[in-house]
Amino acid sequence: MRGLLLIFLVLLPVSAQAWTEAEREQILSFGPWPPEAARDSSNRLSGNPAAIALGAALFSETRLSPGGIACISCHQPQKGWGDGLARSKGMQQLDRNAPSVMNAHLSRWFGWDGASDSLWAASIRPILDEREMASSAERVAATIRSDAALTCQFEKVAGTAPQHLVDEAVMVLGAKAIAAFQETLTSGRTPFDDYRDALARGENAPYPEAAKRGLKIFLDSACAACHTGPSFSNGEFHDTGLPYFMQNGRPDPGRYEGIKRVRANPYNRLSRYSDDPDSGFTVRHVALLHRNWGEFKTPSLRNLRHTAPYMHDGSKATLIEVIRHYSELDEDRLHVDGEAILRPLRLDEASIRDLAVFLETLSASNVPDAASLERWAEEARKCRK
């Protein structure tokens, strides 16, 4: 009888198996979603509707770049606010995948290397980068000043005409407006969120059996050590054993260079352009470590269905490929005293599929689209004195 009971327990599907209290707590930590809107204290335009409208207009403004590249060129609404390319292309071919800007406002560091510590600084970076938009403060200011509607909207936002400000100040305010717009790009609820909330209420919610098994694998295999919280990202940087050579044969230094750049960034939270220098304690205290060489930011796992390909270099076309990478991880590429959490998952095919199904349930069907961008931008474009 005892033997039969054991067999029954072993065969019991996860669906009928109650989560342990620790597992339940961990599952609840992935919500609630959406998180409460929080304003960026370093950006006085954060949450300002007029600035959001200006930012939306600037987000798709091709005149900002001599090559006609706009933010939207690499962050396309119909492609999950990425560009669908493995490695992105601006004025030149780039070495990294364009990360989605959806939910980006929930980050502490921005970009795969965290070279920016605010969304507005992260918006300035590609504008000035010769490989991306190859623009300048002069060009950004001239574009805004030469367009009546943009000038009107800018004045409404800044309280003064762009003609009365130096070029750099116009660019920074423009970037802060772009950041204010990006803060509106929060994705909708997902099947996982419904399941999670029901669990919080002590209720059952429809959720695929395969997704539950995948969630169990996710919890057991320490994926959740780095993919934490409602965004499924700890917002920090790790070596995941992936090669990180660039097309020129040199390695991408990743976070190592990112720390150097964020410290030296004239637009960081400690800078004179920050509206809350006290919020810059992270950049003041971030330490440059040898281990940072080749580390990249833990990406959010939300909306993966919309944001392929994956990894910092877009080298994985599908979620199955990503899972296989962690399943067959080359431990020799990891320092034995470095990423001690990472070990090959050694998953069988069924488990790989289950984990992929779980990850799919983190994608929302209701995500911000081009129409939401246009609604905001239209408001700016019709601005008249």
Considering only residues 180 through 199, tell me which ones interact with other proteins, judged by CB under 8 A.
none
Q: Is the peptide bond before 32 cis (omega within 30 degrees of 0)?
A: yes
What distances in angstroms separate CA 327 from CA 86, 301, 351, one per listed residue?
A: 22, 17, 10
Nearer to other proteins, 152 or 308 (CB): 152
Binding piece for other proteins, criterion CB under 8 A, among 106-114, 208-216, 241-249, 276-284: 241-249
Binding of other proteins by 335 (CB under 8 A): yes
Which residue in 361, 119, 376, 120 sits closest to 232, CA to CA?
A: 361
Number of residues that bind other proteins (CB under 8 A): 31
Q: Which residues contact 74 (CB under 8 A, 6 or more apart)?
A: 82, 83, 88, 89, 90, 98, 126, 132
Here the tokens at position 362 are 């983190």
311: contact with other proteins by CB under 8 A: no
285 near other proteins, judged by CB under 8 A: no
Radius of gyration of the chain (CA): 22
Q: Which two tokens stand for residue 77?
A: 């609404």
Tell me how far CA of residue 24 lies from CA of 194, 200, 204, 212, 232, in angstroms: 14, 8, 13, 12, 16
Out of 207, 256, 267, 358, name the contact with other proteins by CB under 8 A.
256
Minimum CB–partner distance for residue 325 and other proteins (Å): 15
Residue closer to other proteins by CB (options 6, 288) is: 288
Read off the tokens for 270: 């400690």
Does position 236 interact with other proteins (CB under 8 A)? The reply is: no
Rounded CA-CA distance 224/214 in Å is 12
Q: Is 124 in the site for other proteins (CB under 8 A)?
A: no
Which of 4, 9, 249, 340 forms a contact with other proteins (CB under 8 A)? 249
Contact characters 7-46, other proteins, x per CB under 8 A: ----------------------------------------
Provide, rounded to whole angstroms, the least separation between the CB of residue 332 and other proteins: 4
Report the distance separating Cα 95 and Cα 245, nearest Å.
9
Q: What is the DSSP string of 205-268?
A: ----HHHHHHHHHHHHTTGGGTS-TTTT--S-EE--S---B-TTSSB--BHHHHHHHHHH-TTS
Provide, rounded to whole angstroms, the least separation between the CB of residue 243 and other proteins.
Answer: 7
Q: Does 157 interact with other proteins (rule: CB under 8 A)?
A: no
- Is 333 a binder of other proteins (CB under 8 A)? yes
With CB under 8 A as the contact rule, which of the stretches 52-60, 237-245, 312-320, 354-362 interacts with other proteins?
237-245
Determine contact, residues 275/41, Cβ cutoff 8 Å.
yes
Least Å distance, CB 137 to other proteins, is 11
Secondary structure element (H or E) that encloses residue 296, with its range: strand 296-297
Task: With contacts defined by CB under 8 A, name the span among 51-59, 144-152, 250-258, 367-375 that binds other proteins.
Answer: 250-258
287 secondary structure, DSSP code: P
Q: Which of 7, 38, 146, 164 binds other proteins (CB under 8 A)?
A: 164
What does the alpha-carbon distance between residue 170 and residue 182 come to, in Å, rounded to a whole number?
18
Of the candidate spans 5-13, 97-105, 140-148, 283-291, the one that interacts with other proteins by CB under 8 A turns out to be: 283-291
Choice between 162 and 230, CB closer to other proteins: 162
Site residues, other proteins (CB under 8 A): 158, 160, 164-166, 168-169, 173, 243-245, 249-251, 253, 256, 272, 287-291, 293-294, 331-333, 335-338
